[in-house]
Structures are given as C-alpha cells and as structure tokens.
Amino acid sequence: MSVPAANVLTTASTVPAAEVAGAGPGARGWLRSAEITIPGGIIVLLLFFCFIWPLVYPVPKPIGGSLLQVNLPLFAPGHIFGTDDVGNDIMSRILYGGRVSFEVAAGVQVIGLVVGGLLGMAAAYRGGWIEAVLMRILDVFIAFPSLVLVLAIADSLGPSEMHVIWALSAFSIPAFARVARAATLRLRDQPFVVAARLSGTKAWRIMFQHLVPNMAPQLLTFSLLGAGITILLEGGLDFLGYGIPPPTASWGNMIATGQQFISVYPDLVLVPSFFLLLTCICLNMMGDGLRARWGVR
C-alpha cells in the first residue's frame, strides 16, 4: 500500500460506508473501472429509491393496505410487485424495508469503525498491558457464539431498529478492533511514524494524522464487506423473530412472513430475496474492487 495513494483517500474516510460509491467529486479517475462503478451505481440507485423517491413521488403506504386487494400478482396495475397477504403494496414495503437495511448496515459499520477502530488502534499503538487486556476481551467476544449475544440483546431491549443496531455492533466492534490493531502494528515501526515520534509529535496526532490515513483504505473496504454481512444478519434476526417487529417493513420479516405462503405465492419471498441478494452482491463487489484498486490485503 503506497502512502500517497492512501493520503488522497483521507477526505473520503469520513463519508459513511454505503455512500462511497465512486461517484463523488474528485473521483473522476475511478469512473473508468466498471467493476466498482456498476455495483456502486446500483447501490446509489437503491439508496435514492429507498430514501428520496417516497418523498417526491406518491408511493402507496407500506402498511394498512386494502384487504380487497390481497395477493395481487406481479405487475398488477398500481402495484408493480403486487400486494402481500394483507393487501400492502410490495414495492413500497421493499423501499421502506430497504431503508431499514441500509440504516442498520450504516449504523453498525459506523459504530464498529469508530469504537472498534479507535480501541484497536490506541491499544496497539500503546502496547503493554492495555493491549494484552483488550486482546483477551476481544478473544472472549470472538469465542462467544455471537448469535447468543445478538438474540439476548434483541430480546432484552425489545424488538426495534435501534436495538438491532446495538445488537449487531457487538459483532462489528471486535472485528474492526482486530483489523485496526493489525494495521497499527504493521505501521507502528515504519520510518515515517518513527520520524514523527522522534520529532516530538504527540501520540494522538500521530494516530489521527499518520496512522488513520494509512489504514483508512483497509478499514473502508472492510466496512463495505461488513455492511453486506450486516444486512444478511439483520435479515436473519428478523427471520428468527428477534429483529424488526412485523407491521414495520423490513426485507427479513417480509421473507419470514412470505414463507408461509411460499408454495402458493412464491413472489412474496422471491422479491425481497432478490433485493437482499442484489444489495449484498453490490456491496461485496465494491469492497473487492476497492480492495484490489488500493492494493489492500
């Protein structure tokens, strides 16, 4: 990983993971690479439709549909993806459910990046007993069946979007801490860090001005891949009944309720599954593409 290339990216490091779509200003050079721009474009499109489209276009409500229009097929007039078993418009539920998925993914990655990244970096830079204690605590979290923790947090706090974010952060914080620690250990004894230390730079300044810019690419690609996993896990929680409670739309609980009718109306499962798959593929491809581009391992 070359230092100047990483420095260019420092401005991008504050942008939330899901929005680094290769389309911002100063990104002109990257646009050539279809490997990143196509999935990035799809993600931007999905974000646009989930967050902005319902504000500017009269999309039907995701709940409280008419019982007279139950289980309409795909491409029914007024309902592109049809309606579900209580007459809600599926397209609208996909859009509002997508909001949940993206919000959870972004929330979990940001919490992991900030808390886990800072912990891992500070511990590895300091070294000594702080690092030893932190690593043991992280080992506990890694050896702990994460699902127990997630189910327990979701169960004790009650089902809601914010609680799902807290629960899933239990995964992302140790993961980011490990990545940040490994990156810091690699950078700590590099000549430019040693030079900064010798010239009397304060520890926090070395961390934020020298270490953070250099590991930003690695943490960013990691958070893109993590966002995909988070979206799948969020769906899994919904599926087991510990996630977003049913009247609210989310892709996971759409699949979970749709599975009762799967042999009669497979669309109820297939449509949300398709969007889940599409989002995860795009996030994974972007993560991979950026990793290859930045030469991060």
- Residue ranges in contact with other proteins by CB under 8 A: 136-137, 139-140, 142-149, 151-153, 155-156, 228, 232, 235-236, 239-240, 255, 259, 262-263, 266, 269, 273, 276-277, 280-281, 284-285, 288
Rounded to a whole number of angstroms, the minimum distance from the CB of residue 272 to other proteins is 9
Integer CA distances (angstroms), 34 to 25, 41, 97, in order: 17, 10, 28
CA distance 259 to 270: 10
Q: Closer CB to other proteins, residue 211 or residue 231?
A: 231
Q: Closer CB to other proteins, residue 65 or residue 228?
A: 228
Rounded to a whole number of angstroms, the minimum distance from the CB of residue 232 to other proteins is 5
Q: Which of 30, 7, 64, 16 is nearest to 283 (CA)?
A: 16
Q: Closer CB to other proteins, residue 211 or residue 296?
A: 296
Q: Closer CB to other proteins, residue 14 or residue 263?
A: 263
3-state helix/strand/coil string of 200-268: CCCHHHHHHHHHHHHHHHHHHHHHHHHHHHHHHHHHHHHHHCCCCCCCCCCHHHHHHHHHHHCCCCCHH
Q: Closer CB to other proteins, residue 206 or residue 254?
A: 254
Rounded to a whole number of angstroms, the minimum distance from the CB of residue 142 to other proteins is 7
Residues 297/3, Cβ–Cβ less than 8 Å:
no
Rounded to a whole number of angstroms, the minimum distance from the CB of residue 240 to other proteins is 7
Q: Which of 282, 278, 283, 296 is nearest to 224 (CA)?
A: 283
Looking at beta carbons, which pairs linking 106-110 to residues 24 or more positions away fall under 8 Å?
106/16, 106/17, 106/18, 106/227, 107/165, 107/169, 108/165, 108/168, 108/169, 108/171, 108/172, 108/226, 108/227, 108/230, 109/16, 109/17, 109/18, 109/172, 109/223, 109/226, 109/227, 109/230, 110/16, 110/17
Rounded to a whole number of angstroms, the minimum distance from the CB of residue 225 to other proteins is 9
Rounded to a whole number of angstroms, the minimum distance from the CB of residue 127 to other proteins is 18
Q: Closer CB to other proteins, residue 57 or residue 129?
A: 129
Rounded to a whole number of angstroms, the minimum distance from the CB of residue 6 to other proteins is 22
Q: Closer CB to other proteins, residue 68 or residue 143?
A: 143
